Protein backbone atom coordinates (compact mmCIF):
# COMPACT_ATOMS: atom_id res chain seq x y z
CA UNK A 1 0.00 0.00 0.00
CA UNK A 2 1.31 3.43 -0.95
CA UNK A 3 1.39 6.36 1.45
CA UNK A 4 -1.88 8.29 1.48
CA UNK A 5 -2.32 12.05 1.73
CA UNK A 6 -5.32 12.50 4.04
CA UNK A 7 -5.68 16.27 3.59
CA UNK A 8 -4.96 18.15 0.38
CA UNK A 9 -6.52 21.09 -1.54
CA UNK A 10 -5.88 20.35 -5.25
CA UNK A 11 -8.35 22.98 -6.43
CA UNK A 12 -6.21 25.73 -4.91
CA UNK A 13 -3.38 25.07 -7.37
CA UNK A 14 -3.48 27.07 -10.60
CA UNK A 15 -2.62 24.07 -12.76
CA UNK A 16 -6.05 22.88 -13.88
CA UNK A 17 -5.70 19.78 -11.64
CA UNK A 18 -2.53 18.58 -13.40
CA UNK A 19 -1.09 17.70 -10.01
CA UNK A 20 -3.74 14.98 -9.67
CA UNK A 21 -2.52 13.19 -12.78
CA UNK A 22 0.59 12.00 -10.95
CA UNK A 23 -0.91 11.78 -7.48
CA UNK A 24 -1.20 8.61 -5.49
CA UNK A 25 -4.16 8.20 -3.18
CA UNK A 26 -5.28 11.51 -1.69
CA UNK A 27 -8.24 12.87 0.23
CA UNK A 28 -9.27 15.90 -1.83
CA UNK A 29 -10.85 18.21 0.76
CA UNK A 30 -13.16 21.04 -0.26
CA UNK A 31 -13.93 24.29 1.53
CA UNK A 32 -17.62 24.71 0.56
CA UNK A 33 -20.42 22.33 -0.49
CA UNK A 34 -20.75 24.12 -3.85
CA UNK A 35 -17.14 23.20 -4.64
CA UNK A 36 -17.85 19.56 -3.81
CA UNK A 37 -20.80 19.69 -6.21
CA UNK A 38 -18.60 21.21 -8.92
CA UNK A 39 -15.93 18.50 -8.70
CA UNK A 40 -18.15 15.52 -7.91
CA UNK A 41 -19.06 14.53 -11.50
CA UNK A 42 -15.38 14.29 -12.45
CA UNK A 43 -14.02 12.59 -9.32
CA UNK A 44 -16.93 10.54 -7.95
CA UNK A 45 -15.59 7.28 -9.41
CA UNK A 46 -11.87 7.97 -8.96
CA UNK A 47 -9.90 5.20 -7.29
CA UNK A 48 -7.13 7.58 -6.21
CA UNK A 49 -8.82 10.89 -5.42
CA UNK A 50 -11.31 10.61 -2.57
CA UNK A 51 -13.46 13.73 -2.79
CA UNK A 52 -14.51 15.10 0.60
CA UNK A 53 -17.50 17.29 1.35
CA UNK A 54 -16.40 20.39 3.24
CA UNK A 55 -17.61 23.57 4.92
CA UNK A 56 -14.55 25.40 6.20
CA UNK A 57 -15.11 27.24 9.52
CA UNK A 58 -13.22 30.33 8.29
CA UNK A 59 -15.77 30.73 5.49
CA UNK A 60 -18.94 30.46 7.57
CA UNK A 61 -19.19 34.20 8.21
CA UNK A 62 -19.02 34.90 4.47
CA UNK A 63 -21.13 31.89 3.44
CA UNK A 64 -23.52 31.33 6.37
CA UNK A 65 -26.37 29.50 4.61
CA UNK A 66 -24.73 26.44 3.10
CA UNK A 67 -25.62 23.79 5.67
CA UNK A 68 -28.69 22.52 3.80
CA UNK A 69 -26.57 22.13 0.67
CA UNK A 70 -23.99 20.27 2.76
CA UNK A 71 -26.69 18.00 4.15
CA UNK A 72 -28.09 17.20 0.69
CA UNK A 73 -24.69 16.01 -0.54
CA UNK A 74 -23.55 14.01 2.47
CA UNK A 75 -24.89 10.67 1.20
CA UNK A 76 -22.60 10.90 -1.86
CA UNK A 77 -19.29 10.37 -0.03
CA UNK A 78 -17.64 8.68 2.95
CA UNK A 79 -15.23 11.60 3.23
CA UNK A 80 -16.00 14.85 5.06
CA UNK A 81 -13.65 17.82 5.24
CA UNK A 82 -12.51 20.38 5.70
CA UNK A 83 -14.89 21.12 8.55
CA UNK A 84 -14.39 22.19 12.16
CA UNK A 85 -13.94 25.25 14.35
CA UNK A 86 -11.57 28.21 14.35
CA UNK A 87 -11.41 30.42 17.44
CA UNK A 88 -8.36 32.43 16.42
CA UNK A 89 -8.54 36.19 16.80
CA UNK A 90 -9.81 36.96 13.30
CA UNK A 91 -12.60 34.36 13.53
CA UNK A 92 -13.85 34.88 17.10
CA UNK A 93 -16.91 36.86 16.00
CA UNK A 94 -18.22 33.98 13.92
CA UNK A 95 -17.46 31.28 16.51
CA UNK A 96 -21.09 30.96 17.64
CA UNK A 97 -22.22 30.35 14.06
CA UNK A 98 -19.33 27.96 13.50
CA UNK A 99 -20.24 25.92 16.57
CA UNK A 100 -23.90 25.67 15.58
CA UNK A 101 -23.03 24.49 12.07
CA UNK A 102 -20.31 22.12 13.29
CA UNK A 103 -22.79 20.47 15.65
CA UNK A 104 -25.34 20.17 12.84
CA UNK A 105 -22.71 18.60 10.58
CA UNK A 106 -21.66 16.13 13.28
CA UNK A 107 -25.31 15.21 13.94
CA UNK A 108 -25.74 14.38 10.26
CA UNK A 109 -22.49 12.41 10.14
CA UNK A 110 -23.57 10.44 13.21
CA UNK A 111 -26.82 9.49 11.48
CA UNK A 112 -24.82 8.04 8.61
CA UNK A 113 -22.26 6.39 10.91
CA UNK A 114 -19.02 5.56 9.10
CA UNK A 115 -17.68 8.85 7.74
CA UNK A 116 -13.98 9.72 7.56
CA UNK A 117 -13.84 13.30 8.84
CA UNK A 118 -10.93 15.76 8.51
CA UNK A 119 -11.24 18.39 11.24
CA UNK A 120 -9.82 21.90 11.60
CA UNK A 121 -9.50 22.77 15.31
CA UNK A 122 -7.41 25.95 15.67
CA UNK A 123 -7.74 27.30 19.24
CA UNK A 124 -11.02 25.39 19.57
CA UNK A 125 -10.05 21.88 20.63
CA UNK A 126 -11.99 22.08 23.91
CA UNK A 127 -15.22 22.44 21.93
CA UNK A 128 -14.16 19.96 19.23
CA UNK A 129 -13.58 17.02 21.58
CA UNK A 130 -17.02 17.45 23.13
CA UNK A 131 -18.55 16.57 19.75
CA UNK A 132 -16.47 13.48 18.91
CA UNK A 133 -18.58 10.59 20.13
CA UNK A 134 -17.73 6.90 20.11
CA UNK A 135 -19.25 5.44 16.96
CA UNK A 136 -18.04 4.20 13.58
CA UNK A 137 -16.90 7.60 12.33
CA UNK A 138 -13.15 8.22 11.98
CA UNK A 139 -11.97 11.63 13.20
CA UNK A 140 -8.69 12.93 11.77
CA UNK A 141 -7.46 16.13 13.43
CA UNK A 142 -5.73 18.07 10.67
CA UNK A 143 -2.58 20.07 11.63
CA UNK A 144 -3.45 19.86 15.31
CA UNK A 145 -1.95 22.70 17.40
CA UNK A 146 -3.97 22.40 20.60
CA UNK A 147 -2.95 21.06 23.99
CA UNK A 148 -1.29 17.67 24.01
CA UNK A 149 -3.04 16.55 27.20
CA UNK A 150 -6.48 17.20 25.74
CA UNK A 151 -5.58 15.27 22.58
CA UNK A 152 -4.20 12.27 24.45
CA UNK A 153 -7.19 12.24 26.81
CA UNK A 154 -9.49 12.30 23.77
CA UNK A 155 -7.59 9.45 22.15
CA UNK A 156 -7.82 7.39 25.35
CA UNK A 157 -11.60 7.77 25.34
CA UNK A 158 -12.14 7.29 21.62
CA UNK A 159 -10.19 4.77 19.54
CA UNK A 160 -11.24 6.46 16.29
CA UNK A 161 -9.37 9.75 16.82
CA UNK A 162 -6.23 10.24 14.71
CA UNK A 163 -3.97 13.15 13.75
CA UNK A 164 -2.67 13.87 10.25
CA UNK A 165 0.93 15.12 10.16
CA UNK A 166 2.49 17.30 7.46
CA UNK A 167 6.13 18.14 6.78
CA UNK A 168 5.96 21.63 8.31
CA UNK A 169 4.79 20.14 11.61
CA UNK A 170 8.03 18.12 11.87
CA UNK A 171 10.10 21.33 11.96
CA UNK A 172 8.46 23.07 14.96
CA UNK A 173 8.88 22.34 18.66
CA UNK A 174 5.13 21.98 19.15
CA UNK A 175 4.87 19.61 16.20
CA UNK A 176 7.92 17.66 17.38
CA UNK A 177 6.41 17.22 20.87
CA UNK A 178 3.09 16.17 19.36
CA UNK A 179 4.61 13.56 17.05
CA UNK A 180 6.85 12.26 19.83
CA UNK A 181 3.93 11.81 22.25
CA UNK A 182 1.07 10.54 20.07
CA UNK A 183 1.02 6.74 19.62
CA UNK A 184 2.23 5.79 16.16
CA UNK A 185 -0.95 3.80 15.54
CA UNK A 186 -2.90 7.10 15.64
CA UNK A 187 -0.85 8.97 13.03
CA UNK A 188 -1.49 9.35 9.30
CA UNK A 189 -0.01 11.74 6.74
CA UNK A 190 -1.19 14.91 5.07
CA UNK A 191 0.40 17.58 2.89
CA UNK A 192 -2.21 20.34 3.37
CA UNK A 193 -1.03 21.35 -0.10
CA UNK A 194 -0.60 24.09 -1.15
CA UNK A 195 -0.31 25.57 2.37
CA UNK A 196 2.98 24.05 3.50
CA UNK A 197 6.46 25.22 2.57
CA UNK A 198 7.30 22.45 0.11
CA UNK A 199 3.82 22.10 -1.36
CA UNK A 200 3.79 25.76 -2.37
CA UNK A 201 6.51 24.90 -4.89
CA UNK A 202 5.37 21.46 -6.03
CA UNK A 203 3.14 18.52 -5.30
CA UNK A 204 4.73 15.11 -5.41
CA UNK A 205 4.97 11.85 -3.52
CA UNK A 206 8.39 12.76 -2.10
CA UNK A 207 6.73 15.21 0.31
CA UNK A 208 4.98 12.27 1.98
CA UNK A 209 8.20 10.24 1.98
CA UNK A 210 10.09 13.13 3.58
CA UNK A 211 7.35 13.51 6.19
CA UNK A 212 7.48 9.88 7.22
CA UNK A 213 11.30 10.03 7.37
CA UNK A 214 11.07 12.92 9.82
CA UNK A 215 8.43 11.12 11.89
CA UNK A 216 10.78 8.12 12.19
CA UNK A 217 13.60 10.41 13.36
CA UNK A 218 11.39 12.10 15.95
CA UNK A 219 10.14 8.73 17.17
CA UNK A 220 13.73 7.38 17.14
CA UNK A 221 12.36 4.38 15.27
CA UNK A 222 13.23 2.36 12.21
CA UNK A 223 11.87 4.00 9.03
CA UNK A 224 10.53 0.72 7.67
CA UNK A 225 8.64 -0.03 10.87
CA UNK A 226 7.11 3.46 10.96
CA UNK A 227 6.14 3.21 7.29
CA UNK A 228 4.47 -0.16 7.78
CA UNK A 229 2.50 1.11 10.78
CA UNK A 230 1.30 4.28 9.05
CA UNK A 231 0.28 2.23 6.02
CA UNK A 232 -1.63 -0.07 8.37
CA UNK A 233 -3.35 2.95 9.96
CA UNK A 234 -4.37 4.21 6.53
CA UNK A 235 -5.70 0.81 5.53
CA UNK A 236 -7.70 0.54 8.75
CA UNK A 237 -9.26 3.97 8.23
CA UNK A 238 -10.19 3.25 4.62
CA UNK A 239 -11.56 -0.15 5.56
Count CB neighbours of 163 within 10 A: 22
Asked whether residue 120 is marked as a ligand-binding residue, the answer is yes
Q: In the 3-class helix/strand/coil scheme, how is the chain assigned residue by residue?
A: CCCCEEEECHHHCCCCCHHHHCCCCEEECCCCHHHHHHHHHHHCCCCCEEECECCCHHHCCCCCCCHHHHHHHHHHCCEEEEEECCCCHHHHHHHHHHHHHHHHHHHHHHHCCCCEEEEECCCCHHHHHHCCCCCCCEEEEECCCCCHHHHHHHHHHCCCEEEEECHHHHHCHHHHHHHHHCCHHHEEECCCCCCCHHHHHCCCHHHHHHHHHHHHHHHCCCHHHHHHHHHHHHHHHHC
Asked whether residue 7 is marked as a ligand-binding residue, the answer is yes
Asked whether residue 142 is marked as a ligand-binding residue, the answer is yes
Asked whether residue 89 is marked as a ligand-binding residue, the answer is no
Binding residues for a divalent metal cation: 7, 9, 82, 120, 142, 192
Binding residues: 7, 9, 82, 120, 142, 192
Amino acid sequence: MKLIDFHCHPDLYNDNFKMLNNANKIVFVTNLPVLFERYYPKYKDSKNNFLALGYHPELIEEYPNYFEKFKRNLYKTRFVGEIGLDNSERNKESFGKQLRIFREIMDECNKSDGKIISIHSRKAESSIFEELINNNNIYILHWYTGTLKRLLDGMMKNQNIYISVNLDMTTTKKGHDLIHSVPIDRIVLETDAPFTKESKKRYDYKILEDTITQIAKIKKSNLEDITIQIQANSKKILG
